[in-house]
Structure formats: C-alpha cells, structure tokens
Chain A
Amino acid sequence: GENVEQHPSTLSVQEGDSAVIKCTYSDSASNYFPWYKQELGKGPQLIIDIRSNVGEKKDQRIAVTLNKTAKHFSLHITETQPEDSAVYFCAAWGDTDKLIFGTGTRLQVFP
C-alpha cells in the first residue's frame, strides 16, 4: 500500500543553524504534500504545503522542495529558534484519496 518514510526520527541543532527533514513516498500518483508541526499537548499545525506542479515553495524561514522523479520531498528550516522545537510530520495525498503521514521527526533546537 501507499507508504511515506520520514528521516531522521530525531534531529538536534544549535540555534541559528539550519534543519532539514526528508520524506519519500511510494505512490507515484501523489500530488499534494503538506507538512505539520505538532507541539506538546496540541494537534498538528499545517505549516507549509506543496502541490506536484511546483518544485519549491518558501514561507519566511521555511521551505519545501519536491522531486517528483525521485519521489521525495524535504522541509528546510533556516535560522532555527528554540520555538521551532516540536515534532514535524510530512504527509502525501495520492490514489488512496487520503493523507498518509510519515512517522515524525522530533526537532530540538538548543540555545
């Protein structure tokens, strides 16, 4: 069935450094790729998304890139801050007509 793999499972960076989280999807028909940030005790928050007709999208310190040929997409956070610490999930929407989530990445930003 459709699968989304996410790496790494944990990521620790120094404040001000960049963080990159990568996801690979199996369904070549997938055409929508959102990223969510989940803080402790809260529901996932949509932070950025990309559709298959675009290769890159930026929103301030956050960017997402998509490589449809290789079937992978990545989240890039620049100039990280302690408040970026959270669990990040990637997801893909494809032929199964539902969002399939990656297993999450726990990002820790140390001051």
Chain B
Amino acid sequence: KAGVTQTPRYLIKTRGQQVTLSCSPISGHRSVSWYQQTPGQGLQFLFEYFSETQRNKGNFPGRFSGRQFSNSRSEMNVSTLELGDSALYLCASSLNPAKEAFFGQGTRLTVV
C-alpha cells in the first residue's frame, strides 16, 4: 500500500512569489491535514480537509490556503511569500478525522 506522497520534495522561491504544494493521501483515506514544521515553532497545524471541505483551520494568515479534490488529493497554496515561510510543510492523511494520521516526507520550502 503506497504511503502519503508529497510533491515537490524541495522548493526555492523568492519573496513575494506564490507556491503550490501537493499531497496524495493513502488510498481510501479521506482526511488530509497540513502542518508547518520549523525549528523554533515545532509542528503547527495549518488546516484539515475532509470530503473536499475544510473542517478545521489553525492560526495562520489568509495567505495560506488549501483545497481538496474529489479523489482526496490536496493542495496548499501560499501567496506573497515571506522569508519566515521557509519551513518543512508536512501533509498527513487519515481514514477519518481523529483516526491514526500518517505523514508524508514533506516539502522543504526555502524563501530567499
């Protein structure tokens, strides 16, 4: 059974640009959550999607957005990138909310 797949693995962007990250959950999983991981702040919850609907959101500015498609694949978008957005972005999938969550390898975003 394939795990959670995140693409791309690495990204370098310039301040002010926007970026889209992709996450393909484990087959059959309908819930996808996104996290930002930085050395200083640890793992911070961004948002969760379930059945194409955002069901929960963390305390991030509106520049961070996401969506989920009918096949459960999810994308997150960050607009007007800032240096502080440099982080490892992790996606986790679960069968349903509050069930075991399995993480992908992450996308390492560097903003220069």
Question: Using a CB–CB distance below 8 Å, which chain A residues touch chain B?
Answer: 32, 34, 36, 41-46, 49, 89, 93, 96-104
Contact in complex: A46, B100 (CB < 8 Å): yes
Contact in complex: B42, A49 (CB < 8 Å): no
Task: Compute how far the CA of A42 lies from the CA of B37 in the bound complex, rounded to whole angstroms.
Answer: 12
Contacts of A43 in B (CB 8 A): 4, 6, 90, 103-106
Task: Compute how far the CA of A11 lies from the CA of B103 in the bound complex, rounded to whole angstroms.
Answer: 24
Shortest beta-carbon distance, A99 to chain B, in Å? 7
Question: Using a CB–CB distance below 8 Å, which chain B residues touch chain A?
Answer: 4, 6, 33, 35, 42-43, 45, 48, 55-56, 58, 90, 97-98, 100-106
Contact in complex: A44, B90 (CB < 8 Å): yes
Contacts of A42 in B (CB 8 A): 105-106
Contacts of B104 in A (CB 8 A): 43
Task: Compute how far the CA of A96 lies from the CA of B97 in the bound complex, rounded to whole angstroms.
Answer: 12
Contact in complex: A49, B103 (CB < 8 Å): no
